[in-house]
Structure 1
Amino acid sequence: MFLTRFRFNTARLGARRLLSSPQRLHAAVMFAFAEPPPQDDGGSRVLWRIDSNSRAETYLYIVSPAKPDLTHLVEEAGWPETGRWQTYDYEPLLSRLTKGDVWAFRLTANPVHSIRRKADEPTKVTAHVGRRHQLEWLLQRQEKAGFAILEKAPEQRLHTELDQYELAVNDRRQLDFSKHGQRKPVTLVTVTFDGRLQVTDPDALRHTLTAGLGRAKAYGCGLMTLAKV
């Protein structure tokens, strides 16, 4: 597995065009591989995420089974004379995950749930739009995903149930874009979670880091990354 980082030159039209459409950006990411990597939900797959520290500092992160070649992105949306990308071997980090370890994490996800208004109608996948339900969506998945989000010390909490955890919901966005072969535009609600976690099941967490968490993985959701506390 490999972890790759690429910085967009947001002054370029090509960069702005890619960043405005998850459909185009997904295609650009997949063009980075000579042989299409597997995209099934059962194992490792190509995951990607956009992180924007500021308007002029926007990064693409990719986790993939094969090493990508981002020459086309450098030429269209980077700095062709001086810009490159960084690719790191992901296996050393994955292999040293140990139960009880504490990490900072970031995850961009598509929190959804299935609802029906009448008993005789099929269920419909609907986005969680409230902060409370978005937090609960992640908390409900932490055990199976191999981690536990840390709780704050009592003196650090505000007088709300939502402030119990070392977890923040940032960069909530609604994306509307066209998908090939469909007349109706696709609407996608994404949020970025930042927090601290403790490893409870190293194998399950390795699977989460390489196979993704939640839906809409093709459109920049599901990639969790870890950082030293």
Structure 2
Amino acid sequence: MYLTRFRINTGRVGARKLLASPQTMHAAVMTSFAEPPAPGSNGPRVLWRLDRDGNAATYLCIVSPMRPDLTHLVEQAGWPTTARWDTFDYTPFLERLAKGDSWSFRLTANPVHSIRRNADEPTKVTAHIGPTHQLGWLLKQQGKAGFRILEKPAEKQLIPGHDTHDLIVHGRRQLRFTKKGNGGQVTVVAVTFDGRLEVTDPDAFRATLTQGLGRAKAYGCGLMTLAKA
């Protein structure tokens, strides 16, 4: 597995086209590989995420089973003569993960749930809109995904009894685009979670990091990355 980070030159026309369309960005990411994983495979897949920091820098993060070649992205949306990209061997890090490890994390995800108005109606997948429900969605994922979100001490809770976990949600984006092939309109609500976690099941957690969490993985959702707590 490989972890790649590429800074996007947002002043370029090509970069703005990529940032405006998750479909276009997905296509650009997938063409970084001579033989990308087959769609629908149960093993590690190509995951990507856009990160925007406080200094207005925008980064493309990619986790992939193969080493990518981002030459086309440098030419279209980077600095061709002064900057390229950084790729790291991710496998040794993944193999070292152990039960009880604590990490800070970032995850961009598409929190959804299934609803229906009456018993005769089929269920419909719809996005969680409010931060409370979005945070609740992630808390429901934690056990099967191999981690638990760490809790705050009572004295650090802004709203005692409610602000219980070391977790925030921000950067809500509503992505609308026309799906190629059938012309259908697609809407994806993406939010970013920052927090602290503890590894409870290393194997399940490795699968979360390499296969993604939640839906809309082709559109920049599902990638979780870690940093020292």
**TM-score, structure 2 normalization:** 0.97
Look up the match of 1:208.
Answer: 208
Q: 1:55 to 1:174 in 2, by over 3 A?
A: farther
Q: Distance in 1 between matches of 2:23 and 2:160?
A: 38
Partners in 2 of 1:174 and 1:41 — Cα distance? Answer: 27
Instruction: Say if 1:9 and 1:56, in contact at 8 Å, map to a contact too.
Output: no
- The Cα shift of 1:54 comes to 4.2
CA distance in 2, matches of 1:158, 1:102: 23
Question: Identity of paired residues, percent?
Answer: 68
1:152 and 1:190 mapped to 2: Cα distance? 25
Looking at structure 1, the residues matched to 86 and 26 of structure 2 have their Cα atoms a distance apart, in angstroms, of 19
1:61-140 matches, cutoff 5 A: 61-140=61-140
Deviations 1:164-197 (A, max 9, x none): 0000001011111121123332111010000000
Written as runs of structure 1 = structure 2, the 5 A alignment for 1:1-229 is: 1-40=1-40, 42-54=42-54, 56-229=56-229
Give the letter for the 1:62 counterpart: I
Paired letter, 1:120: D
* Cα separation, 2, equivalents of 1:93 and 1:163: 31
Given that 1:106 and 1:195 are in contact with CA atoms closer than 8 Å, whether structure 2 keeps it comes out as yes
The number of equivalent residue pairs is 229
Q: Please give the alpha-carbon distance, in whole angstroms, between the structure 2 residues aligned to 1:167 and 1:40.
A: 31
Alpha-carbon distance between aligned partners in 1 of 2:149 and 2:41, rounded to the nearest angstrom? 24
CA distance in 1, matches of 2:44, 2:102: 23
1:149 partner letter: I
**Matched residues in 2 for 1:162 and 1:173: separation?**
25
Greater mean alpha carbon deviation, residues 75-84 or residues 179-188: 179-188
Amino acid at match of 1:226: L
Measured in 2, the distance between the counterparts of 1:20 and 1:55 equals 20
Distance 1:41 1:34 in 2: 17
Q: Root-mean-square deviation (CA), in Å?
A: 1.2
Q: Which runs of 4+ in 1 moved over 3 A?
A: none
Gaps of 5+ in 1: none
User: How far off is 1:55 after superposition?
Assistant: 6.7
